[in-house]
Chains A and B, each alone.
Chain A
Amino acid sequence: MAIVFERPKALLDVPTHYCPGCTHGVIHRLVAEVIDELGIIDRTAGVAPVGCSVLAYDYFACDMYEAAHGRAPAVATGIKRAVPDSIVFTYQGDGDLAAIGTAEIVHAAARGEKITTIFVNNAIYGMTGGQMAPTTLPGQVTETSPYGRDINTQGHPIRVSEMISTLDGAVYVERVSVDSVPNIIKAKKAIKKAFELQMQGKGFTMVEVLSICPTNWGLSPNESIKWLRDNMMPFYPLGVKKDITAGEVK
């Protein structure tokens, strides 16, 4: 009988520590499938962030780095510059990428660093127990916005993909979601394209993935999916924000 579904080779055969229902696992799988399909595991190096995916280096079978909070794009820059034929990706949460690591991501993108960033936006700091993130929605209740995020005192959320897509060094930026099977398929296509453009040496690529945090949102996984659709998607519209290859004849 033909095997139609198995663990991607780029993922190690180990249990992950993610909470039940958390979509970090889905996103890991997509990245791993893409690495397998492109046949690049032999020259891939991934950079894990500080956040719930801090242990990603225990799950991916390629060479991995653990970076300081927010610094993954700088670490990735160092790897890619040192070994230009390597394929380098960072995997970062919204606290990691959009707060403490804003400078690193903006400048890696502006330099057109030939790396791929998987940006997992769950609108909250997961690992530290549900504090407000730069991506937390107006009115959203978190540990540190207990009365709902007040834009007058706590500022506005950052639409990272839109911001990064204004930078000339970014060649491909897309926001996807893993709330449904069709969207998961689209997410994988986006991740694959990002890696492919990196392999062609085009420039910086980023895929923002809307993700859920049932634990800190205080919702069941199903309710979380609904919350993502009802609240995050309208604020963070899905789709390609930038693609320098759009319109290119294939």
Chain B
Amino acid sequence: MANKVLMKGNEAIGEAAIHAGCQCFFGYPITPQTEVAAYMARRMPKIGRVFLQAESEVAAINMVYGAAGAGVRVMTSSSSPGISLKAEGISYIAGAELPCVIINIVRGGPGLGGIQPAQSDYFQATKGGGHGDYRLVVYAPASIQELVDTVQEAFDVADQYRVPVMVMGDGMLGQMMEPVEFKDRNTTRNLPEKTWAANGLRGRQKHNVINSLFLKPEELEQHNRRLQAKYAEIEKNEVKYEEYNLDKEVDLTVVAYGTTSRIVKNAIKMLEKEGINIGLIRPITLWPFPSKAIEDAAEKSKYGFISVEMSEGQMVEDVKLAVNGKKPVYFYGRSGGMVPTPAEVANKIREIVGGAK
């Protein structure tokens, strides 16, 4: 029998990281993710690992930079305004090609915004956030079990490609409780040894340097090209998504991720009874984005697509790029911490399908 325990999303994140061998956690409190830090504060010292509350998000992410450079598995966690502060460090980490895991339990913005669940950091997470030509691998799990599995996977992906990986949930996922199981997992990935780590020569002949500075333009361009090649590899290997109800022709395909996808599934069930057939593509990786799956669904989706988000239309841009004009793309979103109801989503879909019919 599987050992299931009832856990709050934020605490499950902490436990998942511990299971993945996370050696150091550096954080700073911000709602709605503070329980991650509190959980780590309780657990990490007990097992001889490091928990440190930094003086700011800026410091926390730079501590991550130091620990990652020293070759240990390291994680930090924050929510939207805190991630903005971490953006500087994330860019440096990407530039120095260091592996780490960053949790973002998103709340509404811009600015201080609110503390309720939102998905309005999509642009920031997938299009940069910090300066320079870099990418983050961004996961958006939809259940606490998936959150746990994703956090563990994130450490492996970070180590395999030497990249920062973000696991993005909304406040809802962080705060709700669900039964989860922590499986002992052995990665099937071939994780390279961290011969680049800088923690003292320890008999090594040449010193290791953790750095993102390339003063010669030719060298920086070369570095950027190398990063891009790595990102292309990630796009090839790491796209993850779920298809729901798409084993047949549908009237419309919804694209939604995280908590929103669960709401959409309920709306789909409501509409089924009225003879309206709706499919769902749920990106599990927001970057790399499941563009091909969406493009492929265009033929099956009679009246096109709708992006349903807890933001004012951020992911819809990627959906449009994927669909590439083959079908219309609609949008429905709430923001500011407003969570759409299944009825609301169903209404919007009826409007589109009815109008098209």
Give residues in A with beta carbon < 8 Å to B.
12, 41-45, 47, 54-55, 57-58, 60-68, 71, 74-83, 86-87, 103-104, 106-107
Contact = CB atoms under 8 A, between A and B. Distances in A.
A216 B31 CA distance: 46
B200 A42 contact: yes
Given A104-B62, A107-B59, A43 B213 contact: no
Contacts of B63: 74-75, 77-78, 81
24 contacts: A57-B209, A62-B201, A62-B207, A64-B211, A66-B210, A67-B92, A68-B88, A68-B92, A71-B58, A74-B58, A74-B62, A75-B65, A77-B52, A78-B66, A79-B66, A79-B199, A81-B66, A82-B67, A82-B71, A86-B70, A87-B200, A103-B56, A106-B55, A107-B55
A83 B74 contact: no
B198 interface: yes
Nearest to B73: A82
Contacts of B212: 66
A64 B207 contact: yes
Contacts of B201: 41-43, 62-63
B343 interface: no
Contacts of B345: none
A62 to B, nearest CB: 6
A204 to B, nearest CB: 14
B69 interface: yes
B203 interface: yes
B215 to A, nearest CB: 8
B23 interface: yes
Contacts of A64: 198, 207-211
Given A64-B207, A64-B210, A81-B67, 11 more contacts: A41-B201, A63-B199, A64-B211, A71-B62, A75-B69, A77-B52, A79-B199, A81-B52, A82-B199, A103-B58, A104-B58
Interface of B: 23-24, 26, 50, 52, 54-56, 58-60, 62-72, 74, 88-89, 92, 96, 198-203, 207-213
Contacts of B211: 57, 64-66
Residue of A54, A58, A60, A82 ringed by the most chain B CB atoms within 10 A:
A82
Contacts of A12: 207
Which secondary structure characterizes the binding site on chain A? Answer: helix
Given A43-B202, A57-B211, A66-B210, A82 B70 contact: yes
B200 A75 contact: no
Which secondary structure characterizes the binding site on chain B? Answer: mixed
B294 to A, nearest CB: 37
A193 B64 CA distance: 29
B49 to A, nearest CB: 10
Contacts of A107: 54-55, 59
Contacts of A83: 70-72, 199-200
Residue of B52, B65, B68 ringed by the most chain A CB atoms within 10 A:
B65
Nearest to B61: A74
A75 B50 contact: no
B52 A86 contact: no
Contacts of B213: 54-55, 66
The 8 closest A-B pairs by CB, nearest first: A78-B66, A43-B200, A74-B62, A63-B198, A78-B63, A82-B67, A78-B67, A107-B55
A250 B62 CA distance: 38
B209 A66 contact: yes
Contacts of A66: 96, 209-213
A23 B80 CA distance: 43
Given A42-B201, A86-B200, A103-B56, A75 B209 contact: no
Residue of B67, B70, B201, B212 ringed by the most chain A CB atoms within 10 A:
B70
A60 B23 CA distance: 28
A141 to B, nearest CB: 29
A224 to B, nearest CB: 26
A164 B98 CA distance: 31
B52 A65 contact: no
Given A66-B213, A71-B89, A103-B59, A81 B200 contact: no
Contacts of B64: 78
B72 A82 contact: yes
A244 B88 CA distance: 36
